[in-house]
């Protein structure tokens, strides 16, 4: 408490000075919200699964991120209100662990003072970082967190600093169900979902809700499982027309292999977690036929997009391999952050979030992107068909 003044009347000058001091304190407090960059660089953090169960996706995304940052820096950097500033990537491994993802986010926003974060790849790791990035007012763009509730708070309001470059599970599951019914003419379908995360279970729920035919059977498996023969034998006895298998390529590849070895010739439909060349390696090229999966980045579609062609050529030159879907999504995530900074003419993290919120008709390698009110991208989707281990056809869904 302030001691009572001995004089009854305080001079007007003192009152004025006190008011000015209070205003200054208030202004400084408000201006300190978020993180601020130096005159030469824009620090972008990477909170990514570089080891552990989702390392295949994380490392593919890391390559897309590094390619984007390298291109931007070679062209002079990000234009921040007339000044070109280079990107400084700060890459940290969350080890596909929820607790590690939270601590990585804390380091990036509190110690490294990044303007924005790319990642994590998975919904669970992404959700774990939200309290720390929200407290620090630093936006994060996940290339591939697909759970419908990822960008929402428990009260239904949007998470102010959470964005993504991929679709929700609901959308993918609905598209797969319509494709099975309308294109493949399947009437009797089995569902075999990964129950290790919200990814597989969410996709399965959306598929079953949308599919108008009969769900002959619905089973689950867990990350790391190797033997699926018992469930597949049951599916075979039910003479299913197709099997919907939402999950990641590590297990889905084995499911495809064992299904074909069991004499199941029915189409196998999945999600973007299958969109990796390793799927065919695990399944075996001869087994990987009549395989379909939803994807935000189809090579066949991308060949008609000049922005995507430029990306694919640059990726091939740098890494000597075909660009996978997850690299494309991460590449777009970096360029979305660049666009947000340039639109707002500021790399302060709060302004970056505002810029991301207002992205419209962004020319990405995965298609034109507009960020909606839920911080989700509105963009095209495709279904790729695999025959003998190679993508030989695509269906452009509008």
Q: What is the pLDDT of residues 59-94, one digit of tens each?
A: 999 999 999 999 999 999 999 999 999 999 999 999
Tokens, residue 311: 């990306």
Tell me the pLDDT band of 32, cut-offs 50, 70 and 90.
Answer: low
pLDDT over 80 at 16, yes or no: no
Q: Percentage of the chain surpassing pLDDT 70?
A: 92
Which percentage of the chain shows pLDDT scores above 90? 83
Secondary structure (H, E, C), the chain: CCCCCCCCCCCHHHHHHHHHHHHHHHHHHHHCCCCCCCCCEEEEEEEECCCCCCHHHHHHHHHHHHHHHHHHHHCCCEEECCEEEEEEEEEEECCCCHHHHHHHHHHHHHHCCCCEEECCCCHHHHHHHHHHHHHHCCCEEECCCCCCCCCECCCCCECCCEEECCCCHHHHHHHHHHHHHHCCCCCEEEEEEECCCHHHHHHHHHHHHHCCCEEEEEEEECCCCCCCHHHHHHHHHCCCCEEECCCCHHHHHHHHHHHHHCCCCCCEEECHHHCCCHHHHHHCCCCCCCEEEEECCCHHHHCCCHHHHHHHHHHHHHHCCCCCHHHHHHHHHHHHHHHHHHHHCCCCHHHHHHHHHCCCCEEECCEEEEECCCCCEECCEEEEEEECCEEEEEEEEC
From-to residues of CATH 3.40.50.2300 in the chain: 41-167+304-379, 169-295
Confidence (pLDDT) at 30: 38
Rounded mean pLDDT, 154-166: 95
Give me the phi and psi of 359, to 5 degrees please: -65, 130
pLDDT value of position 326 = 94
pLDDT exceeds cutoff 80 at 29? no
Stretch 194-200: mean pLDDT: 88
The tens digit of pLDDT for each residue in 292-333 reads 999 999 888 888 899 999 999 999 999 999 999 999 999 999
Q: Is the pLDDT of residue 11 over 70?
A: no
Sign of the C-alpha dihedral computed for residues 305, 268, 252 and 294 taken in this order: positive
Q: What confidence score (pLDDT) does residue 275 get?
A: 87
> Which of 28-37, 150-159, 169-178 is least confident?
28-37
pLDDT, position 10: 36
Rounded mean pLDDT, 33-62 = 96
Return left, alpha or beta for 345; rule: phi > 0 is left, psi -120 to 50 is alpha, else beta: left
CATH code that applies to domain 169-295 = 3.40.50.2300
What is the pLDDT, as a whole number, of residue 40? Answer: 96
How far apart (Å, rounded) are the C-alpha atoms in residues 27 and 24? 5
> For the whole prediction, is pTM greater than 0.75?
yes
Q: What is the mean pLDDT of residues 14-30?
A: 38
Residue 398: predicted pLDDT? 63
**297 vs 26, more confident:** 297
Instruction: Give the residue-averaged pLDDT of 228-254.
Output: 97
Q: Mean pLDDT score of the chain, rounded to an integer? A: 91
Residue 12 tokens, joined: 């007007």
pLDDT at 20: 37
State mean pLDDT over 21-29. Answer: 38
Task: Give CATH superfamily name and number for 41-167+304-379.
Answer: Response regulator (3.40.50.2300)
Residue at token pair 């009152």: 15
pLDDT exceeds cutoff 70 at 26: no
Closest CA to 256 of 237, 354, 278: 278
According to the model, what pLDDT value does residue 18 have? 40
């Amino acid at each position: 408490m302030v001691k009572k003044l001995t004089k009854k009347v305080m001079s007007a000058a003192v009152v004025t000075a006190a008011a000015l001091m209070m205003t200054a304190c208030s202004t400084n407090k408000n201006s300190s919200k978020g993180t601020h960059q130096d005159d030469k660089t824009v620090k972008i953090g990477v909170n990514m699964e570089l080891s552990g169960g989702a390392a295949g996706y994380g490392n593919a995304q890391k390559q897309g991120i590094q390619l984007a940052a390298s291109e931007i820096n070679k062209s002079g950097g990000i234009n921040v209100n007339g000044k070109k500033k280079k990107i400084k990537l700060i890459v940290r491994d969350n080890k596909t662990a929820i607790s590690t993802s939270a601590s990585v986010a804390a380091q990036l926003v509190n110690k490294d003072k990044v303007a924005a974060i790319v990642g994590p790849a998975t919904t669970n790791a992404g959700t774990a970082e939200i309290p720390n990035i929200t407290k620090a007012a630093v936006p994060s763009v996940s290339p591939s967190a697909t759970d419908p509730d990822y960008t929402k708070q428990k009260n239904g309001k949007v998470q102010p600093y959470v964005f993504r470059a991929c679709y929700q599970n609901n959308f993918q599951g609905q598209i797969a169900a319509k494709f099975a019914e309308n294109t493949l003419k399947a009437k009797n379908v089995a569902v075999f979902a990964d129950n290790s995360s919200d990814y597989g279970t969410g996709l399965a729920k959306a598929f079953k809700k949308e599919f108008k035919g009969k769900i002959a059977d619905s089973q689950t498996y867990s990350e790391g499982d190797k033997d699926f023969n018992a469930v597949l034998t049951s599916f075979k006895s039910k003479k299913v027309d197709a099997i919907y298998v939402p999950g990641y390529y590590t297990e889905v590849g084995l499911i495809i292999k064992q299904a074909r070895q069991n004499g199941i010739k029915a189409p196998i439909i999945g999600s973007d977690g299958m969109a990796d060349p390793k799927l065919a390696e695990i399944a075996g090229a001869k087994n990987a036929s009549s395989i379909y999966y939803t994807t935000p980045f189809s090579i066949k579609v991308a060949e008609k997009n000049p922005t995507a062609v430029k990306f694919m050529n640059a990726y091939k030159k740098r890494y000597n391999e075909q660009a996978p879907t997850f690299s494309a999504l991460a590449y777009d995530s970096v360029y979305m952050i660049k666009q947000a900074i340039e639109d707002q003419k500021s790399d302060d993290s709060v302004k970056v979030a505002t810029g991301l919120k207002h992205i419209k008709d962004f020319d990405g390698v995965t298609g034109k992107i507009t960020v909606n009110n839920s911080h989700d991208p509105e963009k095209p989707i495709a279904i790729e068909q695999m025959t003998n281990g190679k993508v030989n056809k695509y269906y452009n869904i509008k």
